[in-house]
Amino acid sequence: MNKLDKKSVIGISALLVHAANIDEIYSKHEKDLIKNFIKSYIKNEDTDEILKEAEKLENNSNQLISFTTIIKKNSIDTKKEIIKNLWKIIISDNSVDQYESNLMRRICGLIYFPDKESAEIKLKLLNS
């Protein structure tokens, strides 16, 4: 797995926060999923602090582009990991609405990630 620097992790976490907020329910479970994502890239740092920074960033930016630019520069494996984390958050409440599906399609388009592969990741998560 590629190493992401702290700034990238905060930006991607902001995108995860955005995905969590799109259905207007930002649950503790979703926060925990985002913290797990942060922990998987950044060791020995305060994940609550990084999550707060990501939430602030997401709050001040309605620009998906700025978050996806970070992801676009990474390997397909890193992209896959990020898409997987986005889907985990979206399906954590056991429903996927049209806004969430649309968000994922837009993100996949912006980071050049195949829709088909995104759908396979989603299915795998739904079946696990």
Q: Which domains does the chain have, with CATH numbers?
A: 6-126 (1.10.3680)
Ordered mean pLDDT values, 10 residues apiece, the chain (128 residues)? 82 95 92 96 91 93 82 93 96 90 95 96 94
Task: Provide the whole-model pTM.
Answer: 0.91
> What does the pLDDT read at residue 1?
46
**Residue 89 in 3-state DSSP?**
helix
> What does the pLDDT read at residue 117?
97
